[in-house]
A and B are shown apart, each in its own frame.
Chain A
């Protein structure tokens, strides 16, 4: 059996030992997981961000423009000193400004305009048949929006519409919860599959 499989199997059991109660073996495995994940991500970022984008262009290709982002990046570390922490606002302002500039048109289009147009569907489709889906979407959308509209008291028609909205919300939460249970079960199944096949060779 491969050494990697033995280690993975033992660590899986160590993590699951928490189900019995908190113990040093579990804590060791937990710390190892966090440490390894952090170390791995740090190495990847060091290579792909610093080495590939700063070090190589600057020292191998002679691209001195990268000094600007390098300085901006270093300014972020000024937060560690009280006296110069204000300097970190420069790269932060740049990041937020550029981020907002790039994101806002894209998000407005993808999350608002496209979603609005997708929500408005004809009740009679091209074949002349009644589109029940369009009706459900319209009722669900209006009633859910009514639930989140707080400028008017939820009484009378408004109250009944908002109440209907809560049912649509519950259906959504139920579906999401169901899928989440499915997802978490899949993780357990994946581990048991590994333990039974690769680690213990029972199957």
Chain B
């Protein structure tokens, strides 16, 4: 039976291992997985000025995983002079999306309104996704900071999904599914996802059927993308900690099983 003391020891061990992985500055190189490579190659080959849509469909609690992914993809898109229409279908993702877009745009000298725009949040995500297939400006008459959409230079060349090459949804739940199910079949909109690791298996069927173009998943996905981009970020920095934490969990599972079987054989003898 796990006592309170054992629990403290387990947590303290995990904290020490993760902290040491940072302090010792171990370097690790992760080889890109086919999915990450596919995502990278897609953005890499898009012609300059192509408009992509980025949707921040996640809560603040998912930031440790989602932020490195979104930073890597946004940097890549801005570096290749792609234009970005940002929005959020999750209320909590609104301020996060606006901040991340401004941060990456600032790093690469992009101008709000010309190179990127953030439309903000819209409730009733299914209605919003379907509505944008007819007219994005009708669904978002104003952007996040109150400018009328029809006066924003970037939005003048955007009518509906016909003008959007791909939708990238950063999600920690099922919001990307709605993009796949509603924007995909009806409007032929291609969808890419940046997901938390916990959600990856839920999206595998959509990848296998081709309904979802590709996935960049979890911190590892972010690290792989950063390697392809040639710019180290939080994903790469976190990889040694991630690996050591996993090894620690595996060691605990093995130890737990040894204790369990030992106790069982003792009880059997008794």
- The interface of chain A, by Cβ under 8 A from chain B, is 19-21, 37, 40-41, 44-45, 48-49, 52, 99, 102-103, 106-107, 109-111, 114-115, 117-118, 172, 175-176, 179-193, 196, 202-203
Residue-wise, chain B 23-51 has the 8 Å CB interface mask toward A (1 for contact) of: 10000000000000000000000000000
Given A44-B121, A183-B198, A183-B218, answer yes or no on A110-B211 (Cβ-Cβ < 8 Å).
yes
Q: Which residues of A contact B182 (CB under 8 A)?
A: 106
Q: Which residues of B contact A45 (CB under 8 A)?
A: 91, 123
The answer to whether B91 and A180 have CB atoms under 8 Å apart is: no
What is the bound-complex CA distance between A191 and B18, given in angstroms?
A: 11
Not counting A183-B198, A186-B242, A196-B22, a sample of 10 additional A-B residue pairs whose C-beta atoms are within 8 angstroms of each other reads: A44-B121, A48-B122, A106-B186, A181-B249, A182-B218, A182-B220, A184-B198, A190-B65, A192-B22, A203-B22
What is the bound-complex CA distance between A19 and B8, given in angstroms?
A: 7
What is the bound-complex CA distance between A176 and B195, given in angstroms?
A: 14
The answer to whether A189 and B23 have CB atoms under 8 Å apart is: no
Within 8 A of A (CB), among B204-227: 205-206, 208-211, 217-220
Select one of A48, A52, A102, A189 contacting B242, CB under 8 A.
A189
How many contacting A-B pairs (Cβ < 8 A)?
Answer: 128
Within 8 A of A (CB), among B164-208: 180-182, 184-186, 196-201, 205-206, 208
| B238 at the binding interface (Cβ < 8 Å) | yes
Q: Which residues of B contact A111 (CB under 8 A)?
A: 181
* B interface: dominant SS: helix
Q: Which 10 A-B pairs have the closest CB atoms?
A: A190-B64, A118-B209, A183-B198, A110-B181, A182-B197, A183-B197, A44-B91, A185-B245, A179-B197, A180-B198
Select one of A37, A115, A192 contacting B18, CB under 8 A.
A192
Q: Which residue of the partner chain B has the closest CB to A36?
A: B60
Q: Which residues of B contact A186 (CB under 8 A)?
A: 64-65, 196-197, 218-219, 238, 242
Q: Tell me the minimal C-beta distance from B85 to chain A in angstroms.
A: 17
The answer to whether B205 and A192 have CB atoms under 8 Å apart is: no
CB pairs A–B below 8 angstroms (19 shown): A40-B91, A44-B94, A48-B120, A99-B126, A110-B181, A110-B185, A110-B206, A110-B211, A175-B201, A179-B197, A179-B217, A182-B220, A186-B64, A186-B65, A186-B197, A189-B219, A189-B238, A189-B245, A192-B18
What is the bound-complex CA distance between A189 and B126, given in angstroms?
A: 34
The answer to whether B238 and A188 have CB atoms under 8 Å apart is: no
Q: Tell me the minimal C-beta distance from B110 to chain A in angstroms.
A: 25
Q: Tell me the minimal C-beta distance from B167 to chain A in angstroms.
A: 15
Q: Which residues of A contact B218 (CB under 8 A)?
A: 179, 182-183, 186
What is the bound-complex CA distance between A95 and B246, given in angstroms?
A: 45
Q: Tell me the minimal C-beta distance from A19 to chain B in angstroms.
A: 5
The answer to whether B184 and A110 have CB atoms under 8 Å apart is: yes
Q: Tell me the minimal C-beta distance from B72 to chain A in angstroms.
A: 15
The answer to whether B65 and A193 have CB atoms under 8 Å apart is: no
Q: Which residues of B contact A109 (CB under 8 A)?
A: 181, 185
Select one of B65, B92, B211 contacting A37, CB under 8 A.
B92
What is the bound-complex CA distance between A41 and B186, given in angstroms?
A: 30
Q: Tell me the minimal C-beta distance from B6 to chain A in angstroms.
A: 13
Q: Which residues of A contact B242 (CB under 8 A)?
A: 182, 185-186, 189
Select one of A21, A41, A103, A192 contacting B19, CB under 8 A.
A192
Q: Tell me the minimal C-beta distance from A73 to chain B in angstroms.
A: 12
What is the bound-complex CA distance between A40 and B61, given in angstroms?
A: 14
| B260 at the binding interface (Cβ < 8 Å) | no
